[in-house]
Amino acid sequence: MVLLQSAIPLLEANHSPLLASAYLHAALAAQRNQQSDQSVELATSTLQTCYPFDSMYMKALGVLFYAGQDPLGVITNINDLIATYTDDYASYLPWLVFSVGVLAYPQDPSLGMEYVARGVSLGKEILGELHGCVARMQVLVGDVRIEWNRDA
């Protein structure tokens, strides 16, 4: 994370095409370290520096959704996005759908869990049951259910 934070100003100053990637990797690192505000800020910067709906854009949306943010109002059109971008971005869809479920759960638990389950099943179908992303989703589902059930 320290190296990324040092590299970002250099990449910005040189208008480097690697800037979006640096933002995204820093956002993912912040997300892993449970630094929600920083992950949102970096993911938003990623969206502003990459092409709409390319692979980095899709991953940045996943970071935002997981952090409970939907600055572009994407969640209202998620089914259209899934249908439109399935072929090109199939490997990113499981995490994106899963993240939408995590975002939707506090407002509508049944809809949220439907998307969470759909994300996990898409992950198994597209990536395979042993893929690290699928395992992470399954671990998070266990954590999410425990935390949310405590609050109920």
pLDDT in tens, 41-64: 999 999 899 877 677 887 888 888
144: pLDDT confidence band, cut at 50, 70 and 90? very low
- Residue ranges of alpha helices (H) inside 33-77 are 36-49, 55-66
Residue 145 has pLDDT above 50, yes or no: no
pLDDT at 22: 94
Residue 3 has pLDDT above 90, yes or no: no
Q: Count how many Cα atoms sit within 13 Å of the Cα of residue 133 in the half-sphere of its side chain.
A: 21
pLDDT at 146: 40
Please state, in angstroms and rounded to a whole number, the distance separating the CA atoms of residues 98 and 140: 10
pLDDT at 23: 94
pTM greater than 0.75 (yes/no): no
Please state, in angstroms and rounded to a whole number, the distance separating the CA atoms of residues 138 and 142: 6
- Which residues, 6 or more positions from 120, have their beta carbon under 8 angstroms from its beta carbon? 94, 98, 134, 137, 138, 141
Residue 131 has pLDDT above 80, yes or no: yes
pLDDT at 81: 66
pLDDT at 152: 42
pLDDT at 102: 81
DSSP conformational letter for 35: -
User: And the tokens for 68?
Assistant: 């409970």
Residue 24 has pLDDT above 50, yes or no: yes
DSSP conformational letter for 128: -
Q: Over the range 80-116, which residues count as b (16 or more CB within 10 Å of their CB) and which as e?
A: ebbeeeeeebeebbbbbbbbbbbbbbeeeeeebbbbb
Which residue did the predictor score with more confidence, 80 or 66? Answer: 66
Which residue did the predictor score with more confidence, 93 or 38? Answer: 38
Closest among 60, 38, 35 to 47, alpha carbons compared: 60
Amino acid letter for position 80: D
